[in-house]
Amino acid sequence: MKNRNLPVFRIWLLSLGLVSFAVVLLFRLYSLQILQADVYKERAERQYYIPESNIFDRGSIFFRNKDGSPFPAALQKNDFSLVISPANIKNYDSVFYQLSSIVEIDEEEFIKKFKKGGSYQKIASNLGIIESEKIRKLNLIGVSLEHEKARAYPANSLASHILGFVGFREHDKIGQYGLERYYENILKREDRATFVNFFAEVFAGIKDTVNTNSLAEKEGDIYVGIEPQVQSFIEEQLKNITENNNAEYSGAIIINPSNGEIVAMASSPSFDPNNYSRVSSISIFTNPLVENVYEMGSIIKSLTLAAGLDFDAISPETTYFDPGTIFLNSRQISNYDGRSRGLVDMQKVLNDSLNTGAAFVVQQMGNQNFARYMFDFGLGETSGIDLPNEATNIVSNLSSQRDLEYATASFGQGIATTPISTARALSVLANGGVLITPHLVKKVDYKNGFSKQISYQPGRRVIKEETSEEISRMLVKVVDEALLGGKLKMENYSIAAKTGTAQIAKDDGRGYYEDKFLHTFFGYFPAFDAKFLVFIFTYDPKGVRYASESLSEPFMEITKYLINYYEIPPDR
């Protein structure tokens, strides 16, 4: 007996196929007319100019203003290049004269390229629309305009170490350094001229071809939490720090210690990514906040005392006899001034930045327990920041068989960490005791119309919340009572902070320079509900011995600016 439901099933299946086909067709039309409209408009415009095999296209990067609105940081701009075909030019003198009246052209270079012959020689780039239109109206035989898209950074050198730039690698333009490199897979655009027919792929069952929709899903614009006004202010402060102290370079990070969002990150000197080829040395492209490691000095004492408090090895009232100098494994460890202070408590260790006091805390905890806390603070791993080339911290001394290495690590010598991983570790003190992931990008808008918010799960707990409050109280006392004699105390705001001055290791690894230092400073505020943590360093300042002298005032300028700009209410 025949199945009477079979014709109905076939009709239903055919109807479903037609509806699916219509949906796919509508999506394709939407993709072509809306999502990829700029691409095809670009191709249409290029009918009037020399075509290229591949149109350079790239996603944009936006910073975020305080009100949440986007601020353009890296965009595409329309440019024109001037091209000649020497084989088709009969009178190069006339052509040069007419073109040079519109565009600045080096005559020797023009002649050199003319003598090379052939049908394609690029004479000038980055021409504007007005110049290009004047050249087009000349209607010169053997002269053409090439319509290109180029990378532009509207704010010039602002946040250059964050952004990086787009440059050539062989014949391709790719992101180099910074966000341009890290998010290359999202910012780059595939050439849609080679797309595979979507319907052929669906109905013919093609398996080993490029799926254009998967390409579109990973292409987009990125939105970064950098606040341009704050970034600009920080860069000006760093420029002053570097110049006033005749330092080699300086850097700063402003981070929300609760969620890892970076509001500003800068290094001085910087560069203009619009003109990156003009720098004297490519070393300036390196972001020292991420790609370099340093022995951080006494700011690490804050972590050491927090570990001791959390382990119940000490309390703020714990006392020890400070002899000024101690010997471990036949090596001498001294306070910065070599002086003995007699019987002192742990608050005095922070106030006076006593090396012997930090070593005492390690002795009370035990080497292995101290090392475990340092690893829990993330010093044995990279921070995970979304920037390329993050350096690996050097913390092998935390696996030593000798007491000496643990003692020196307790006050920030003998271990070397990146500024960003250091800021991450210090954020644990400010946020109630958990490890965060520092990050720049907050959102990605994909070319297919979808958007993705970037979020990070809370990290592991490192210290108890009570410990975070206790170490914060102690660091507030450092500012209120000890730092520059207490003159930086703010009556209405609690500020937790600590300075560091570390000797710089010699290039050959044999000891330390006697006259070269790294100055560091970190602080967070309001101390018991921290909105920002500020980390500053300056490398090899001249004529100033301690970080309290070189960085205290700049830190307070930054603190007051952030309090006023973000209208942070008083907490005391």
HEC profile of 67-80: CCCEEEEEEEEEEE
pLDDT at position 27 is: 60
Is residue 247 situated within a structural domain? yes
What is the tens place of the pLDDT at every residue in 355-396? 999 999 999 999 999 999 999 999 999 999 999 999 999 999
Average pLDDT over residues 331-346: 96
pLDDT at 411: 98
pLDDT of residue 77: 81
Check which CATH number belongs to the domain holding 114 and give it: 3.90.1310.10
Distance CA 549, CA 519 (A): 9
Percent of the chain with pLDDT over 70: 85
Domain housing 123 = 77-151
Q: What is the pLDDT of residue 209?
A: 36
Per-residue pLDDT, 106: 85
Mean pLDDT of the chain: 88
Range 99-124 burial, b when 16+ CB lie within 10 A, else e? beebeeeeeeebeebbeeeeeebebb
Last residue of a domain, one of 87, 116, 151: 151
Residue 41 predicted with pLDDT over 90: no
Same domain, 142 and 241: no
Lowest model confidence (mean pLDDT) among 48-62, 296-310, 358-372, 541-555: 48-62
Identify the pLDDT of residue 541. 97
Residue 49 lies in a domain: no
Nearest-CA neighbor of 310 among 406, 414, 434, 478?
434
Indicate whether 473 belongs to any domain: yes
Show which of 130, 151, 172 is a domain's final residue: 151
DSSP symbol at 437: -
Domain C-terminal end among 120, 151, 182:
151
- Give Rg (Cα) of the chain: 30
Residue range 224-239, pLDDT digits in tens: 999 999 999 999 999 9
- Specify the CATH number for the domain of residue 490: 3.40.710.10
506 versus 64: which is more confidently predicted?
A: 64
**Measuring CA to CA, which residue among 235, 237, 217 is closest to residue 226?**
235
Q: How many domains does the chain have?
A: 2
Instruction: State residue 455's pLDDT score.
Output: 84
Write down the pTM of the prediction. 0.82
Residues 133 and 234 in one domain: no
Residue with token string 């004529």? 543
User: What is the CA angle 335-317-353, rounded to 5?
Assistant: 20
Q: Does residue 445 belong to any structural domain of this protein?
A: yes
In a domain, 561, yes or no: yes
State the pLDDT confidence band at 8, using cuts at 50, 70 and 90: low
pLDDT in the model for residue 110: 84
| 423 located within any domain | yes
In a domain, residue 390? The reply is: yes
Asked if pLDDT for residue 136 goes beyond 90, the answer is no
What is the C-alpha to C-alpha distance for residues 520 and 83, in angstroms, rounded to an integer?
53
pLDDT (tens digit per residue) in 470-504 = 999 999 999 999 999 999 999 999 999 999 999 99
From the centroid of its chain, how far is CA 85? 44
Whole-number percent of the chain with pLDDT over 90:
65
> Average pLDDT in the 233-246 region?
98
Question: CA-CA distance, 320 to 358, in Å (whole number)?
Answer: 11
**Residue 202: closest CA among 191, 194, 211, 193:** 211
pLDDT exceeds 50 at position 570: yes
pLDDT digits (tens, 9 = 90+) for 405-433: 999 999 999 999 999 999 999 999 999 99
Residue 357 sits in the same domain as residue 459: yes
Query: What SS3 class is residue 263?
Result: strand
Question: E strands, 218-370, where?
Answer: 220-224, 249-255, 262-268, 319-322, 325-328, 331-334, 342-345
pLDDT band, residue 95 (cuts 50/70/90): confident
Pair 122, 248 in one domain: no
CA distance 219 to 185: 7
Quick one: pLDDT band at residue 203, thresholds 50, 70, 90? very low
Task: Please say if the pLDDT value at position 194 is more than 90.
Answer: no
List, for residues 263-274, the tens digit of each pLDDT value: 999 999 999 999
